[in-house]
């Protein structure tokens, strides 16, 4: 058998739903597209990990010859109803950047080990544009919502690429948009109109981006989520699936019945937004870390998202936990809890905001409290 066949057989045997192979040539179309978007993607170009350089694998690894594109269907088990609308499916599935001591990371590690045993040199730290690689390797097509699709799994796939030094047999590209003519369901459904044209996304308007990329210390972004975006986040604390849920290409997948995931069933029983705002170490380790370990390493951003979600419930039963958060040592938590109290409104929320303002000495939190008092003066 050929090396290409061996690699593909092994990938399918360990659970990948599709595998394809393309050359390690540059993704010049990706580089041009990102650069042409100017300030919309400035944070991406400025990222110290040199994310755009990954589109030129041979500039990083002289010996690069082939890219193996692997698709894993992460929607093979049921997602608990109480977590949907709060945590994106890909995160519930615990597959995105999974560490090697977890099942999904172990699968990827098995693939790396197999390639090493074949005598392949494997590229490290190369940020391949996964969706372009998937299409060039014949694994995926594009959706107008910018997601990659495979026939049976829809867009609920995790794509991974591995760069190796061996020349293999390359698959025919499937570089096309396979959406029904005139369909705009994803664009219509997006709460913030982040998909401003077919195949064009403004990440700064995307709820998923706002939930996890907005961290201080990253180039050209801060932890400040604009109030108009906060309102649209609803109870989503990590990820957003709206434009995938609206998509007819996902209809069969969304309708299908899958077995329960016992781990998620248990986690869903323990998950709560008030507890996420309070975030004890034990709650973090047991309930939050398994599904939100990627992107955010400082808990204060997760707590910020929980405060926003609690505010968006509009439920006055959450006022006590938000009042407690107004005494928290984290400025970010106090600031967003103030916003949440303003959003919930009512005399009790006003009383807490006014008394918090008297003792607050952080400028940004004071601004949030004043804005909460002013913006919601009608409801408070
Ligand atoms: S993930 Fe959510 S916010 Fe982002 S483009 Fe899709 S629907 Fe819009
Ligand atoms: S909703 Fe319609 S336009 Fe958007 S990705 Fe799905 S099929 Fe394509």
Sequential DSSP letters for 69-131 = EEEEE--SSPPPTTTTTTB-HHHHTT-TT--TTSHHHHHHHHHHHHHHHTT--B--S----HH
236 ligand 2 Cβ < 6 A: no
Do 90 and 221 reside in the same domain of the chain?
Answer: no
CB of 51 closer than 6 A to ligand 2? no
| Ligand 2: residue whose CA is nearest its atom 6 | 247
Residue 227: the pLDDT is: 97
Half-sphere exposure for 113 (CA within 13 Å, toward CB):
8
Quickly count: other Cβ atoms within 10 Å of residue 158's Cβ.
22
- CA 178 – CA 86 distance, rounded (Å): 29
The protein residue whose alpha carbon is closest to atom 4 in ligand 2 is 186
pLDDT greater than 60 at residue 69? yes
Whether 15 maps to a domain, the answer reads: yes
Average pLDDT taken over every residue of the chain: 96
Residue 370 lies in a domain: yes
Cα–ligand 1 centroid distance for 19 (angstroms): 27
Q: Does residue 249 sit within a domain?
A: no
What pLDDT was estimated at residue 88?
98
The number of the ligand 2 atom at minimal distance from the alpha carbon of 178 is 8
Q: 266 in a domain, yes or no?
A: no
Q: Distance between CA atoms of 165 and 147, rounded to whole angstroms?
A: 28
Of all protein residues, whose CA lies closest to atom 8 belonging to ligand 2? 179
| Beta carbon of 199 within 6 Å of any ligand 2 atom | no
Residues ≥6 apart with Cβ < 8 Å to 44: 34, 51, 52, 203
pLDDT in tens, 36-54: 999 999 999 999 999 999 9
pLDDT in tens, 245-272: 999 999 999 999 999 999 999 999 999 9
Q: Which residue has the tokens 């002289």?
A: 62
Is residue 378's pLDDT more than 60?
Answer: no
Tell me: pLDDT of 210 over 90. yes
Please tell me whether residues 280 and 318 are part of one structural domain: yes
pLDDT tens digit sequence for 226-243? 999 999 999 999 999 999
Q: For residue 27, is it within any domain?
A: yes
The answer to whether the CB of 88 is under 6 A from ligand 2 is: no
Within this chain, do residues 150 and 197 fall inside the same structural domain, yes or no? Answer: no
Q: 199, 34 in Cβ contact below 8 A?
A: no
Show which of 145, 164, 183 is a domain's final residue. Answer: 164
Task: Say if residue 213's pLDDT is above 90.
Answer: yes
Q: Could you give the C-alpha distances from 5 to 8, 20, 25, 57, 136, in angstroms and in order?
A: 5, 10, 21, 23, 18
Ligand 2 centre and the CA of 186: distance in Å?
A: 5
- Structural domain includes residue 121: yes
Q: What is the DSSP letter of 177?
A: B
Domain containing residue 42: 3-164
Cα–Cα distances in angstroms (integers) from residue 356 to residues 99, 155, 327, 370, 372, in the given order? 41, 45, 8, 10, 12
Q: Is residue 183 part of a domain?
A: no
Q: Among residues of the chain, what percentage have pLDDT more than 90? A: 96
Looking at the structure of the chain, the number of domains it has is 2
Ligand 2 centroid, distance to 137 Cα (angstroms): 22
**pLDDT for 151:** 87
- Whose Cα sits closest to atom 4 in ligand 1? 206
Region 180-185: what's the mean pLDDT? 97
Q: Radius of gyration of the chain from Cα atoms? A: 22
Residues 142 and 224 in one domain: no
Among the bound ligands, name the one nearest to the CA of residue 248.
Answer: 2
Pair (97, 202) in one structural domain: no
Confidence of residue 11 (pLDDT cuts 50, 70, 90): very high
Cα of 211 from ligand 1 centre, angstroms:
11
Angle at which helices 103-117 and 3-13 pack, to 10 degrees?
160
The enclosing domain of 322 has a CATH number of 1.25.10
* 66-73 and 200-201 beta bridge pairing: unpaired
Instruction: Give the residue, out of 187, 194, 233, with the most ligand 1 atoms within 8 A of its beta carbon, to mutate for a pocket test.
Output: 194
Helix H, strand E, coil C: the string for 265-299 is HHHHHHCCHHHHHHCCHHHHHHHHHHHHCCCCCCH
Q: Which residues line ligand 1 (CB under 6 A)?
A: 190-192, 194-195, 201, 206-208, 240, 242-243
Q: Are residues 232 and 130 in the same domain?
A: no
> Would you place residue 164 in the very low, low, confident or very high pLDDT band (cuts 50, 70, 90)?
very high
In this prediction, residue 304 carries a pLDDT of: 98
| Same domain (yes/no): 95, 208 | no
Out of 141, 154, 155, 248, give the residue to mutate to test ligand 2, the one with the largest number of ligand atoms within 8 Å of its CB. 248
Range 269-276 average pLDDT: 98
The packing angle between helices 363-375 and 331-344, to 10°, is: 0
Give the number of whichever ligand sits closest to the CA of residue 204.
Answer: 1
- Regarding whether 356 and 218 lie in a shared domain, the answer is yes
pLDDT at 379 over 80: no
Cβ atoms within 10 A of the Cβ of 189, count? 15
Alpha carbon of 319 to ligand 1 centroid (Å): 29
The answer on pLDDT for 380 being more than 80 is: no
Calpha distance 201→14 (Å, rounded): 34
Regarding whether 277 and 128 lie in a shared domain, the answer is no
Residue 253 near ligand 2, beta carbon < 6 Å: no
Phi–psi pair at 162, nearest 5 degrees: -125, 125
- Same domain, yes or no: 153 and 203: no
One domain, residues 156 and 276: no
Residue 248 CA to ligand 2 center (angstroms) comes to 7
pLDDT at 294: 87
Q: How high is the pLDDT of residue 1?
A: 67
pLDDT number for residue 180: 97
**Mean pLDDT, to the nearest integer, of 115-128?**
96
SS3 call for 65: coil
Q: Is the pLDDT of residue 113 over 90?
A: yes
Count of other CB atoms within 10 angstroms of residue 153: 21
Mean per-residue pLDDT, 278-303: 96
Could you tell which of 179, 190, 195, 246 is best to mutate to test the pocket of ligand 2, judged by most ligand atoms within 8 Å of the CB?
A: 179
- Average of per-residue pLDDT across 124-133: 96
Shared-domain flag, residues 280 and 229: yes
Among the listed residues 258, 267, 253, 279, the one whose alpha carbon sits nearest the alpha carbon of residue 337: 279
- 380 inside domain: no
Instruction: Tell me, in angstroms, the distance from the centre of ligand 1 to residue 260's CA.
Output: 26
CB 22 within 8 A of CB 69: yes
For ligand 2, whether the C-beta of 188 sits within 6 Å is no
């Amino acid at each position: 058998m050929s090396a290409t066949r061996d690699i593909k057989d092994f990938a399918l045997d360990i659970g990948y739903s599709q595998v394809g192979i393309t050359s390690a040539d540059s993704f010049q179309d990706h580089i041009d597209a990102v650069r042409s978007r100017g300030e919309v993607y400035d944070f991406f170009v400025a990222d110290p990990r040199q994310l755009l350089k990954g589109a030129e694998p041979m500039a990083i690894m002289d010996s690069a010859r082939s890219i193996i594109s692997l698709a894993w269907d992460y929607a093979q088990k049921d997602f608990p109803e109480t977590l949907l609308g709060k945590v994106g499916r890909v995160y519930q599935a615990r597959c995105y950047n999974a560490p090697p001591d977890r099942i999904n990371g172990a699968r990827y590690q098995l693939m790396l080990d197999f390639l090493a045993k074949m005598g392949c040199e494997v590229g490290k730290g190369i940020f391949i544009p996964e969706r372009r690689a998937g299409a060039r390797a014949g694994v995926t097509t594009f959706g107008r919502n910018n997601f990659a699709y495979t026939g049976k799994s829809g867009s609920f796939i995790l794509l991974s690429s591995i760069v190796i030094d061996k020349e293999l047999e390359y698959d025919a590209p499937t570089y096309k948009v396979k959406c029904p003519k005139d369909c705009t369901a994803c664009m219509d459904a997006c709460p913030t109109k982040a998909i401003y044209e077919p195949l064009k996304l403004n990440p700064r308007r995307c709820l998923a981006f706002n939930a996890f990329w907005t961290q201080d210390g990253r180039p050209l972004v801060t932890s400040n989520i604009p109030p108009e975006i906060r309102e649209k986040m609803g109870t989503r604390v990590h990820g957003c699936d709206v434009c995938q849920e609206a998509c007819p290409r996902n209809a069969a997948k969304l309708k299908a019945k899958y077995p329960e995931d016992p781990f998620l069933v248990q986690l869903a029983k323990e998950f709560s937004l008030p507890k996420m705002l309070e975030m004890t170490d034990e709650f973090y380790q047991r309930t939050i870390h398994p599904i939100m370990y990627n992107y955010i390493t400082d808990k204060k951003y997760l707590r910020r998202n929980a405060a926003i979600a609690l505010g968006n419930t509009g439920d006055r039963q959450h006022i006590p936990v938000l009042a407690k958060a107004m005494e928290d040592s984290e400025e970010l938590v106090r600031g967003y809890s103030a916003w949440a109290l303003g959003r919930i409104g009512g005399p009790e929320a006003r009383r807490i905001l006014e008394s918090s303002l008297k003792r607050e000495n952080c400028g940004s939190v004071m601004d949030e409290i004043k804005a909460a008092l002013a913006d919601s003066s009608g409801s408070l």
